[in-house]
Amino acid sequence: MKRHLPFLGLIAGLVALDQAAKAVVVKLIPFYGNVSVIPGFFSISHIHNRGAIFGTFSQSGSPIVTIFLAAASLFALVMVVVYFFRTPASQMGMKVSLALIMAGALGNFIDRIGRGYVVDFMEFHVRRAYFPTFNVADSCITIGALLLILIFVIRRP
């Protein structure tokens, strides 16, 4: 278990950062509010995502969809946790990528269970082109998944 402690610390720190950032946004920015940080490029917004990644299924409003998404994310989280503990600590890149994915999944799972939705707040845009609003947990999942793909591509014989 000792060999996993640094990675578990990383997960705990990232989940804490995600939850703290969301709490600050909820407290300081009204729902659907928007604060321009870098005009024409980056804003902090306060939205609720009841769907999956990039707002998929967010318009349904059905509690069944919320339950399904929570169950699916819990299943995925369990699978990543199992793989994480089976991966040797010597495989640093793999452990970090799995830790990032776990932290992101856990951060959004906490929101989904506690609030019934995920708080998203980072918004990038160029003129009228907007990237879907996201949060720290989404960033962790995305970076972890990209790192995982990179590791698998590099390992190919």
Residues classed as catalytic: 120, 138
Q: What is the pTM of this model?
A: 0.87
Burial of 75 (0-12, 13-18, 19+ CB in 10 A): exposed
Instruction: Please name the amino acid found at residue 133.
Output: T
* CA 5 vs CA 1, 12, 43, 89: distances in Å: 7, 10, 35, 10
Give me the pLDDT at residue 74, please: 85
Give me the pLDDT at residue 57, please: 55
Going from N- to C-terminal start, the domains of the chain cover: 2-155
Give me the pLDDT at residue 43, please: 96
Give me the pLDDT at residue 150, please: 95
**CA 41/CA 78 separation, integer angstroms:** 36
Cα dihedral angle (141, 135, 57, 131), rounded to 10 degrees? -100
95: CB partners within 8 A, 6+ apart:
7, 84, 87, 89
- pLDDT tens string, the chain, 157 residues long: the values are 788 889 999 999 999 999 999 999 999 999 999 999 999 899 999 999 886 655 555 555 667 777 777 788 888 889 999 999 999 888 999 999 999 999 999 999 999 889 988 999 999 998 888 888 999 999 999 999 999 999 989 886 6
